[in-house]
Chain A
Amino acid sequence: MGKFIKWGLPALALAVLAAGWWLGLAWAPPDREMGDVQRIMYVHVPLQWVAMVAMAINFVVAIGYLMKASWKLDATAEASAEIGLVLGTAGMITGAIWGRPTWGVYWSWDPRLTSQAIMLVTYTGYLVLRRFVEDPEKRATWSAVVAIIGAINLPIVWFSVRWWRSLHQVQSTPKTVDPEMTLALRVSAFGMLFLTIWFLVQRYRQALAERQAEVALPDALPSDLAAAGGANSSRVA
């Protein structure tokens, strides 16, 4: 299992992603109105989907941490927030580039784009908070609260195109697009999902190792906690 995660999963992810992108770039038909520019969909939409998945994971583990404190949940929260931010930023950049030929502008303060920007700023703040708080337990608790508050925006981002008049189109469904487009999009999305899972596993291991090192070394803790017992002062499993 360890070898599969280390080598098999990234190889599978890259192979599926390459296949999906090839299908999207060379096999699927161009859009009726957007022409070949629509092929950006096969990179933009999977990025946004997996970014939302990562942030949803962040929300779930944040609730889990507040219910039962665990370094594993905290490490998962840190990993998912960072990866969600990276993928969401890439999604926003590709969306802006797609906007230029279709809308005439790279950026517009419309509901979808604005809520997405707020989402990225929120998760940037979340990661900054984690950097600033030295005490691992306080960091985990405070960032879990911020994660839950930040997650309020996730459904707003998703449904913004339906709730308000948005320049951004409403989500397509398999019924509204060519079946060949659906296949290329699904394959690309699975490739991006596998890559995200691999990123999550790697980042989770790093974060967990950092937490364990922090708790194991009394010097790494704030002086009051270290004086109170250092390594044994942590109440987190």
Chain B
Amino acid sequence: MMMLSTQWLWLLAAAPGQVGSGRIVGGWGYVWACYGITVAMLVLYAVSLWARRPKAPTDAKE
């Protein structure tokens, strides 16, 4: 019991130093996924704008 209490006290004392000390390693797959999806959406939207562009009247030159 005494051992357990000592361990808890040690953990409590160490906790403030541990908060925020971890660091995510890797994760480039998430990064590329975000950039890839964004580029795909921007390209698709640009293509949709091009497809919906106002057409010049066919008799404009007449």
Contacts and interface: CB of A to CB of B under 8 A. Distances in A.
B53 A34 contact: no
B24 A101 contact: yes
A94 B37 CA distance: 8
Contact of A98 (B22, B34, B53): B34
Contacts of B33: 97
Interface residues of A, number: 31
A16 to B, nearest CB: 14
Interface string A183-225: 0000000000001000100110110010000000000000000
> At the interface, is chain B mostly helix, strand, loop or mixed?
helix
B13 interface: no
Interface string A85-100: 0100110011001101
B34 A94 contact: yes
Contacts of A98: 30, 34
Nearest to B52: A206
B interface, size bucket: 20 to 34
B31 A36 contact: yes
A35 B30 contact: no
Nearest to B25: A35
Interface stretch (A38-46, A136-144, A146-154, A163-171): A38-46
Contacts of A199: 45-46, 49
B28 interface: yes
Interface of B: 20, 22-28, 30-31, 33-35, 37-38, 41-42, 45-46, 49, 52-54
29 contacts: A32-B20, A34-B23, A35-B24, A35-B25, A35-B27, A36-B24, A36-B28, A37-B24, A37-B31, A39-B31, A43-B34, A43-B35, A44-B34, A86-B45, A90-B38, A90-B41, A93-B37, A94-B37, A94-B38, A97-B33, A97-B34, A97-B37, A101-B24, A195-B42, A202-B49, A203-B49, A206-B52, A206-B53, A209-B54
